[in-house]
Amino acid sequence: MTTPLFRWAGSKRKSLPTLAEFWQPTFRRYVEPFVGSAALFFRLQPRRALLSDINKGLIEAYKVIRDQPDDLHAAVCAIPRRETTYYKIRAQRPADLTPFERAVRFVYLNRYCFNGIYRTNAKGEFNVPFAHNKPGVIPSIEQFRQCSILLSKTSLRCGDFESVLSAVREGDFVYLDPPYAVESRRIFRQYDAKEFTLEDMERLSKCLRSIDGIGASFVISYADCAEARRLLKRWKPVRHRVRRHIAGFASARRTAFELLATNIEAR
C-alpha cells in the first residue's frame, strides 16, 4: 500500500477498508474525478486509471512527481521549514514560476501549512498560515518514487468533474468524493476559488444516471444531509460513520455520518 503524498482535507484514509470492498480487479479502469490526495487510488493500485481534479496546482504537482520524483524530492528537501521561508514561498506568484518550481512550492506549502488545508482567497491565492505545531513531514524519496511508478500508468487531467465523467466507458469503476456543498458555504473557498454548490450536486446526480446507463460502476461518498438523501435516493444510500475534520480545526473534529451510494453490490 502506498501512502498519499499530500495532506488533504476530506481525505478518505479512514474509510479506505469500506471503500476498497467495492473494487474488483476485473474493472476496466479506475476513474476518480475529485481526486485530492488520491487515497483510494494509492490503496488499490489499479492497472489503468484516469485521475482528475479542478485544482490546477495539484494536478501539475502530480505530473512533476510522476516525471521527476528524485529532482522534486531534492528540491523540496533543500528548503528549510521556517516561518519566514514559508511566507516567502507562499508569496511567490505561481504565474512567474516554471511548472517544476510550482510543484516544489505546492508540495512545500502542503506539508508545512496549517493542517494540510488547501484554501485560497477570492483572487485564487493560497492563504493558509504556517503550521507552528504538527506540520507534515516531507515524504521519503522511496514514497516519491513509488507514487511516480503508480502515476506513470495513469492519465491525469485538470477540470470540472462533468467533462471527465463524459469519458467514462462501459466496465469502468468511478469513485466520487465531492466537497460538501453544505459545508463549503461555511468554510469558504476551500480547494479552489470556485465554491462547490448544490447546483453542482444536481449536475453530479445527473452524471450518476449516465454512468449507470453506460454500464459503468460507481461509488459516491457524501455528507449525510437532506439534500444528499434526496439526490441519491435512487441508489439507496447507506449511512457510514467517519471521523473527520471540519475546516481543519481540532475543536471541530468530530465523528460524523456519511452516505455511501453505489450501483454495485459490495462483494
Ligand X SMILES: C[S@@+](CC[C@H](N)C(=O)[O-])C[C@H]1O[C@@H](n2cnc3c(N)ncnc32)[C@H](O)[C@@H]1O
Sequence ranges of the binding site: 8, 12, 53, 177
Candidate segments 29-37, 97-105, 135-143, 233-241, binder of ligand X by CB under 6 A: 29-37
Annotated binding site for S-adenosyl-L-methionine, which residues? 8, 12, 53, 177
Which stretch in 62-70, 90-98, 188-196, 247-255 sits in contact with ligand X by CB under 6 A?
Answer: 188-196
Assess 224 for contact with ligand X (CB under 6 A). Answer: no
Check if the beta carbon of residue 31 is closer than 8 Å to that of residue 15: no
Nearest distance from C-beta of residue 87 to ligand X, angstroms: 23
**Rounded to the nearest whole angstrom, what is the least distance from the CB of residue 263 to ligand X in the complex?**
19
Residue the block writes with cell 476485473: 26
- Which residues, 92 to 131, sit near ligand X by CB under 6 A? none
Grid cell for residue 170: 462501459
Q: Are 168 and 211 in contact (CB under 8 A)?
A: yes
Q: Which residues contact 242 (CB under 8 A, 6 or more apart)?
A: 14, 15, 255, 256, 257, 258
46 binds ligand X (CB under 6 A): no
Contacts of 68 (CB under 8 A, 6+ apart): 100
Cβ neighbours, 10 Å, residue 19: 21
Cβ proximity to ligand X, 79 vs 198, nearer residue:
198
> Which listed residue (19, 22, 36, 115) binds ligand X by CB under 6 A?
36
By CB under 6 A, name the one of 31, 44, 54, 260 that touches ligand X: 54
> Residue 72 is placed in which grid cell?
522534486
Are the beta carbons of 185 and 195 closer than 8 angstroms?
Answer: yes
Interaction of residue 160 with ligand X, rule CB under 6 A: yes
Closest of 214, 232, 215 to residue 223, by C-alpha: 232
Which of 86, 191, 218, 235 lies at the binding interface for ligand X (CB under 6 A)? 191
Which of 53/105 has CB closer to ligand X? Answer: 53
Stretch that binds ligand X, among 8-16, 20-28, 106-114, 239-247 (CB under 6 A): 8-16
> Least CB distance from residue 241 to ligand X, whole Å?
17
Considering only the stretches 9-17, 61-69, 85-93, 212-220, report the one whose residues sit in contact with ligand X under the rule CB under 6 A.
9-17
**By the rule CB under 6 A, 263 interacts with ligand X:** no
Part of the chain binding ligand X (CB under 6 A), chosen from 36-44, 142-150, 165-173, 235-243:
36-44
Find the binder of ligand X among 57, 139, 179, 237 (CB under 6 A): 179
Give residues in contact with ligand X (CB under 6 A): 8, 10-12, 33-34, 36-39, 53-55, 160-161, 177-179, 191-192, 196, 200
